[in-house]
Amino acid sequence: MITSRRRLRAVTALLGLSAAVLPAAAATAAASPVPAHVVARPALRDLPEPPPANVARTELAQLHVEAPRPMTGYSRAKFPHWITQHGQCDTREVVLARDGKDVKQDEKCHAISGTWVSPYDDKTFTVAGQLDIDHVVPLANAWRSGADEWTTPQRKAFANDLVHSQLVAVSAASNRSKGDQSPDQWAPPLRSYWCTYARAWTDVKHVYRLTVTEAEKTKLAGMLDTCTR
């Protein structure tokens, strides 16, 4: 479960006291038969586990229901990403290393090999370029839910959040099918992932004090009903 310390750091970022999520510590390169500049790195941070279903249900009940705000003034550029987390590793590369198995990176931190399983559709990949890093709560959805009033540092923290279950490596096809849609408009094709997805979506909206629509809230409640714990 996400620790209270991690929650505090994320809320601090949201309030503008930090421009971005604190970077993870750099991993030590392990001995490898491949060239010295290509190293297999252990995960820099475990995939953040969203709260259990009972906590997510409580969070869902506390979310404010509101009609979507207009997209006036929206631009992805207002959510700066991907930022440097450490060395030459940006947020995308950190998530790829975290979510993959046996991931190897070059001297610029680019994933050059590994195996990834997309949780949205259970498809397996061995080429990093076939994966997108999905914002579980899309940037445009966040804008319509209250992020239009945030500062740029707050939006940057949201777009690069490694603390909460906001970023996940998924198939490019599933990410582009999802777009900026909310759960009542799009849900992962792999139904067994609905529980995790709903817990993550609800928690991110709760942490960042974003609103939901009535249809979104109803769908999330139904998806949480698929949880076994």
- Of the chain, the percentage scoring pLDDT greater than 90 comes to 78
Q: Of 207, 58, 220, 204, which is closest to residue 141 (Cα–Cα)? A: 204
Predicted model pTM: 0.81
Residue 27 in any domain: the answer is: no
* Alpha carbon distance 212, 220 (integer Å): 10
The stretch 75-100 carries a mean pLDDT of 96
Judged on CB neighbours under 10 Å (0-12, 13-18, 19+), 29 is middle
104 has pLDDT over 90: yes
Lowest mean pLDDT among 28-37, 78-87, 198-207: 28-37
Residue 70 has, within 13 A of its CA and on its CB side, a CA count of: 2
Q: Of 162, 145, 151, which is closest to residue 216 (Cα–Cα)? A: 145
Domain span at 99: 4-21+37-224
* Alpha carbon distance 30, 71 (integer Å): 47
Residue 190 in any domain: the answer is: yes
Residue 29 in any domain: the answer is: no
Residue 31 in any domain: the answer is: no
Residue 175 in any domain: the answer is: yes
Residue 28 in any domain: the answer is: no
Encoded tokens for 183: 């759960």
- The answer to whether residues 81 and 159 touch, using CB atoms and an 8 Å cutoff, is yes
* Alpha carbon distance 36, 106 (integer Å): 9
Encoded tokens for 228: 């076994």
Q: What confidence tier does 47 reach under pLDDT thresholds 50, 70, 90?
A: low
Residue 104 in any domain: the answer is: yes
pLDDT of 112-153, one tens digit each? 999 999 999 999 999 999 999 999 999 999 999 999 999 999
Residue 181 in any domain: the answer is: yes
For the chain, how many structural domains are there in total?
1
